[in-house]
Structure 1
């Protein structure tokens, strides 16, 4: 088996530790310590975050969409393919190196997505982007491995009752908050239900139709 080779490292602002960009043959992974946060061979559930959100937005005129976390670009590329052609898509990414990797060793994954005229790159904390750019028709969060899989402790506020309330107030009526997670989380589901939003929990597969690990996406719609 081919060994993993470290291509680069990044220190996450705000005490989030270190990320490493790893390569093994044609496979790439972004890792935190020994944990893989994302992998170039596993894109199904990140793509589902965008495609299922687009279904819920429907044909709203010029919908405004916030994606929290650029990662390997799977959610952004799926959003560009799925949301209406007149959409405005803001991508919030805190770690400068992830943006550099998107234009460097991972450019083959991202394609021209960052140069699409519908896309605005917000280089900073997604929590600030939520309040700075409101109202949104959809807020998509994939900034951790889920509410209990935090790579950056300060992201915890996004998943608290207060954080959910802030996201709710940043949504247009009928807009929704979508949250990706590597696992189910009953306390987070309870907090969403208590927010007054209409909540749905969906299981998706890491490899899409090919199967793979079961991941969770929550959709909470402002009524």
Structure 2
């Protein structure tokens, strides 16, 4: 009698590794899936994208009926949020702020591994990609947005890169509010729910705070925290 063995899963293959001002970032391929690793911690991959797309959909659904609302996406990642925004005809200007040059290169460089996921969205006339730290951009720009969609690190309670937790602090949330139009929406992706962050949003002056859960294959659900800047 012969035994049939399932093939072992392939070992991840590192496609690029960079040491930058915020630590190490790695792009690797695991089978058909591309993964981004920061400072040795898994951040995201191309296997699903439902929660990243929900981030943009939740922000749009929470807006009033204003025409051509403007959107800022914090974090390019693997491109799911940007692709979702550009696929929607209602959005006006779409600004993406990404501080890791490596991530931008993985989308835009020659034979960029992540390029196919974002190419159409990046070519959209509404899209602008800014290389900057998001907190610095919020404090330095004079622009205001109808929606801010933040997908930075693993969310408010589990950051793996120095400095990212400042964005979710009271000062960081104040900077977000200052850049939102009256009635504008803040949507924040997180790898797990956070009642503490919900309370921080309320104490920072946001209203209509809620949390949308997105089921994942294993473990606790991803979530999108949604809040409105009062008129």
Q: Give the TM-score, by structure 2 length.
A: 0.87
- TM superposition shift of 1:59: 3.8
CA deviation profile, 1:121-160 (whole Å, cap 9, x unmatched): 1111111222314311001110110112213221221111
Gaps in structure 1 of 5+ consecutive residues: none
Residue in 2 that maps onto 1:7? 15
- TM superposition shift of 1:105: 1.0
- Among 57, 61, 65, which residue is 2:67 paired with? 61
Q: Pairwise CA RMSD of aligned residues?
A: 1.8
Task: Specify whether residues 213 and 44 from structure 1 end up closer, same or farther in structure 2 by C-alpha distance, changes over 3 A only.
Answer: farther
* Pair 1:79-2:89 in alignment: no
1:1-223 equivalence runs, <5 A: 1-13=9-21, 16-82=22-88, 84-85=90-91, 87-103=92-108, 104-131=112-139, 132-198=141-207, 199-206=209-216, 213-223=220-230
| Alignment size in residue pairs | 217
CA deviation profile, 1:6-44 (whole Å, cap 9, x unmatched): 00012343xx32111011222110112443211110211
SS at 1:111's partner residue?
A: helix
8 Å Cα contact 1:73-1:110 kept in structure 2: yes
CA distance in 2, matches of 1:134, 1:167: 12
CA deviation profile, 1:139-191 (whole Å, cap 9, x unmatched): 11101101122132212211111111111121100001111100112221111
Deviates most, 69-78 or 26-35: 26-35
Q: Give the TM-score, by structure 1 length.
A: 0.90
Gaps in structure 2 of 5+ consecutive residues: 1-8
SS at 1:38's partner residue?
A: strand
Higher Cα Rg, which structure:
2
- TM superposition shift of 1:205: 2.5
CA deviation profile, 1:92-145 (whole Å, cap 9, x unmatched): 010111111012011122232112110011111111222314311001110110
CA distance in 1, matches of 2:220, 2:118: 23
Structure 1 residue runs of 4 or more that deviate by more than 3 Å after TM superposition:
none
